[in-house]
Amino acid sequence: MMDITGWSAVSPYGVGAASFAAGVRSRRPAAAEPDPAGVPGAEVCRVPGFDPRTALGGKGTRAMNRVTGLAVTAVGALAAARPEPDAALVLGTTSGSVQSMMDFTRASLTGERPFDVEPSAVPGAVMNCAAGFSAIRYGLTGPNTTIAGGRAAGLLGLAYARRLLAAGRAATVLCGAAEECSAARSWLEHHARSGAPARLGEGAGVLRLEPPGAPGALARVLAVHSALDTGVAEVRRRALAAAGVPAAAEVPDVAALIGDTGAVSAVFQIAAALATGGGTSGRTVVVTAADPAGMTAAAVLELRPGHRPGEHDHHGRLVGAP
C-alpha cells in the first residue's frame, strides 16, 4: 500500500489541477478541433495555448518537444511545491515522442549523409527524454524510470512506484504519465484503428506517492494488478481481491470529455476521482485500463475520510494540488 499526497495535471482543460478539477466536476467537454494533420475523421483536444518555451522559459527548451514540455510542467508543479531532491520519478508513456523519432529518422534518410541530423534533436527521439529532462530541471536524484505501457502505463507506473517504496529505494515517488498530440501520433492511431473516427487528447498528470500513514494523504492505493491478454473484468476482480475489498465504484474514463489521452488516461482517471470524490457509490474506487496491445491493469483506491470533493486548504488551493 501507499498514499497519494498530491497531484498535478496539464490537460485539455488547461494547465493546473484546478482547471482539470473544474472541468471534470462540471462534465464539460474540452474544446476540440479538426486534426491539423488532416487525418480523416479525427479531432484533437490540445492543451490550450501550451508551448514549452512559454510555459517553462527559454533556458533548456529550445529543442524541447511537446510531450517533454507537458511532462516537465506537470512534474514541476509538485516538485516546486515541495522540493525533495531524493524523490524518485516514474513516468509512463506509449512510445515517447513519435513525432521526434520520425523527424529524426526522416532527416537521416533525406539528408546528404545519414549523420546530417540536428544534434539537439537526438534527446527528444529517445523514449526516456521527458523523465530525464524533468529530473535534471528539478534536481531529482532518486531512481528515474520510464515505463512504456500505452493506455495501461499510468497503472504500471503505480506498481513500479510501490516496489520502489517497499524496497526503501525512495521515500517519495513522483509517478505519472504524458502524451502529446502530433501528426505522427494521429496517423499511427488512424492506421491502428483502420480509419475509424477518433478524438485524441493530450496532457500529463503526476501523483505524489509516499508510504502509508503520510500526513495529508488524499487516498490510499490498496492494490494494483496487471496482466497480459486478460480481460478487464478479471483484472478488476484480482485487484479487488488483493485489496480485500468486495466491491468498489468504477471511476469512469474521461475520454468522452478530453479525448483519448493514451498513456496518461489512467492517471487522469485517478485525478478525476480525487477531484470529484469518486462519485456517490462509496469511498473506495477502482480504476481500470486496457491497451490494444493486450495489457490490462486495475488499481483500487480508498479515498481518505477527511477528503471532500473540491475541498480547498487555508491558502485557497485545491487539496492535493500545488
Domain ranges for the chain, please list them: 2-215
pLDDT of residue 314: 32
Residue that is written with C-alpha cell 529530473 in the block: 135
pLDDT at 162 over 60: yes
How sure is the predictor about 79, in pLDDT bands with cuts at 50, 70 and 90? very high
Tally the C-alpha atoms within 13 A of residue 251's C-alpha that lie toward its C-beta.
31
Overall average pLDDT of the 216-227 stretch: 96
For residue 33, what pLDDT band results from cuts at 50, 70 and 90? Answer: very high
258 φ/ψ angles, rounded to the nearest 5 degrees: -125, 10
From 193-207, 244-258, 274-288, the region with the lowest mean pLDDT: 274-288
8 Å CB contact between 239 and 35: no
CB atoms within 10 A of CB 89: 29
Q: Which residue has the cell 497503472?
A: 155
116/129 Cα distance (integer angstroms): 21
Whether 313 has a pLDDT exceeding 50, the answer reads no
Class of domain 2-215: alpha beta
Whether residue 68 contacts residue 124, with contact meaning beta carbons closer than 8 Å, is answered with yes
What is the pLDDT at residue 309? 45
Per-residue pLDDT band for 60 (boundaries 50, 70, 90) equals confident
Task: Tell whether the model's pLDDT for residue 47 goes beyond 60.
Answer: yes
Tell me the C-alpha distance between 3 and 217, whole Å: 6
CB 209 within 8 A of CB 296: no
Average pLDDT on 57-84 reads: 93
pTM over 0.75: yes
Task: State the Cα–Cα distance between residues 244 and 300, nearest whole angstrom.
Answer: 10
Report, as an integer, the average pLDDT of 156-184.
98
Residues 6+ apart with CB under 8 A from 250: 285, 286, 288
Residue 320 banded pLDDT, cuts 50, 70, 90: low
pLDDT at residue number 310: 46
Residue with cell 507537458: 70
CA 11 remoteness from chain centre: 10
- CA dist 197 and 199 (Å) reads 7
Pairing of strands 173-179, 203-210: antiparallel
Chain segment 240-267, per-residue pLDDT in tens: 999 999 999 999 889 999 999 999 999 9
Q: Quick one: CA torsion of 240, 244, 250, 254, rounded to 10 degrees?
A: -80
Cell of 286: 477502482
